[in-house]
């Protein structure tokens, strides 16, 4: 990894070509401060080229309990609050549209800004202890980290509305059934599963991963005609790289694995 100065509330280690980034504020249930959000942005803008994927997890019994409410209380003006939300947007966009895929490992509370953070990642692995909530309505707040954009696309507007209006929480199993997580594991098994997935992702051709992260979500939400052109451009970019030629040749000479029945 490149040498960048992260706050003490974030810790990083490498496992082969995978970086494991931990929210390290367990005494505050990993509640997100401005320093942490800016640290996440800094990290994802400077991921070194030898890293193929990132696993994001939380220390202690909780993934992330959301925004540190003491910082919200200290926000003085409407303008300050708008700028604060925009800062979160930039930080989470650096995750969603960064240079490498991100696998989040969810356990315990994944609420408010913590669920917004998870929604900005690409693959979500939930342990059985995970539970989801959006308590902003009960706090006199509204989503400010991009959740009102990402979460309706992920689980549907009516479900997000229900969670925000009523304070309803969802279990790991309920969240998995509606698409919050793509993988569900037992207690204590999430990190190993997340690293396993990240290692597999890291073996993909970098241009393919880039296209999946940047073109796929935009094509799914944007203008159809522009989407077809973007797809053609990304397909051409990926298919003509030397690495793609090598991988295609390996498949054709039966040196690469075929798609197998699950």
> Which candidate in 59, 116, 127, 243 is catalytic?
116
Concerning whether 116 is annotated as a catalytic residue, the answer is yes
Quote the CA–CA distance of 20 and 212 in Å, as a whole number: 21
Query: Catalytic: which of 5, 71, 136, 243?
Result: 136
* Annotation marks residue 221 as catalytic: no
Q: Active-site residue numbers?
A: 116, 136
């Amino acid at each position: 990894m490149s040498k960048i100065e992260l706050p003490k509330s974030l810790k990083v280690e490498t496992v082969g070509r995978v970086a494991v980034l931990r929210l390290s504020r367990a005494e505050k249930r990993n509640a997100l401060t401005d320093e942490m959000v800016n640290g996440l942005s800094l990290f994802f803008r400077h991921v070194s080229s030898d890293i193929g994927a990132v696993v994001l997890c939380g220390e202690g019994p909780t993934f992330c309990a959301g925004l540190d409410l003491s910082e919200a209380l200290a926000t003085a003006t409407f303008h300050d609050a708008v700028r604060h939300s925009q800062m979160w947007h930039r930080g989470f966009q650096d995750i969603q549209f960064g240079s490498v895929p991100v696998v989040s490992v969810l356990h315990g509370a994944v609420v408010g800004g913590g669920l917004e953070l998870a929604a900005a990642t690409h693959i979500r692995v939930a342990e059985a202890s995970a539970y989801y909530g959006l308590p902003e309505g009960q706090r006199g707040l509204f989503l400010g980290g991009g959740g009102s954009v990402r979460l309706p696309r992920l689980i549907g507007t009516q479900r997000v509305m229900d969670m925000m209006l009523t304070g309803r929480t969802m279990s790991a199993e309920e969240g998995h059934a509606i698409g919050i997580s793509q993988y569900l594991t037992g207690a204590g098994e999430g990190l190993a599963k997340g690293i396993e997935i990240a290692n597999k992702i890291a073996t993909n051709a970098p241009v393919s991963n880039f296209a999946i992260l940047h073109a796929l979500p935009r094509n799914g939400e944007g203008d159809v005609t522009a989407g077809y052109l973007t797809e053609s451009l990304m397909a051409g970019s990926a298919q003509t790289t030397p690495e793609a030629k090598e991988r295609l040749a390996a498949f054709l000479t039966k040196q690469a694995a075929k798609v197998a029945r699950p």
